[in-house]
Amino acid sequence: MVEQANRIDEATTDVPGIGDTFPELTVETSMGERSLPDDYEGKWLVLFSHPGDFTPVCTSEFVAFEQRREEFEELNTELLGLSIDRVHSHIKWTEWIAENLDVDIQFPIIADDQGTIAQQLGMLHPGAGTATVRTVFLVGPEGAVRLRLTYPMEIGRNIDEVLRSLRALQKSDDDGVAAPADWPNNEKFGDQVLLSPPGTESDVEDRKAAAADDDNLNYYDWWFVTRDQ
């Protein structure tokens, strides 16, 4: 374990942030080798780490992700897990899940037994040892990091929030809008979206004129305009 920790400490700590290109990695998974992000070009990728195989919270998360996998696929999105375990452990664990919980995990899991990938992606925190915290990367079709979420080891992820974030990002990309808090179920605005504030004085006047002529726009002020779906 000490030798493994030393290898992890020597790894790069240049963690990719939002907007950065996801680093090129060749990884071993429970379903064969993958090249990141190239193998997912043109698709969205949900890459999520878990502290370890054969642990209760992680098992519940994998079941939850698999039960929602088709929803992700309908959004042109693939799932990919990761932990500092060997590929044989991943395979045995998913067999246990199938046999005991009647759920067949149909997405791959990265076997990062050296811990170098987890370190490079910032999935290891001080005091956590060699167990990865619960990090989620949403990587866009062009290979850029679009969102990153981190949960403590004690708390399982909310799959609804991952899906909500994915849908909101896709809506923003498709329509050039922003999503308010709790979209699409905002208590005040429902599923309305937000227009970006104007950048010039002439754009302000254009916004006012557009709001007067478009019943789908809800004008509160020139910088705060919502639009019906």
- What span, in angstroms and rounded, lies between the C-alpha atoms of 34 and 211? 49
Question: Which are the contacts of 135, defined by CB distance < 8 A and separation ≥ 6?
Answer: 48, 49, 121, 122, 123, 148, 149, 150, 151
Distance CA 204, CA 198 (A): 6
Let me know: does 191 contact 226? Beta carbons within 8 Å: no
User: Which strands form 109-111's sheet, in the order they lie side by side?
Assistant: 32-36, 25-29, 109-111, 77-83, 44-49, 134-139, 145-151
Is 85 among the residues known to form the active site? no
Catalytic site residue from 8, 45, 46, 58: 58
Separation between Cα atoms, residue 139 and residue 106, nearest integer Å: 20
Find where tokens 């705060």 sit.
Answer: 224
Q: Among 84, 77, 40, 34, which residue's Cα sits nearest to residue 58?
A: 84
- How far separated are the first and last CA of the chain, in Å rounded? 54
Quote the CA–CA distance of 3 and 120 in Å, as a whole number.
18
> Which residues participate in catalysis according to the annotation?
58
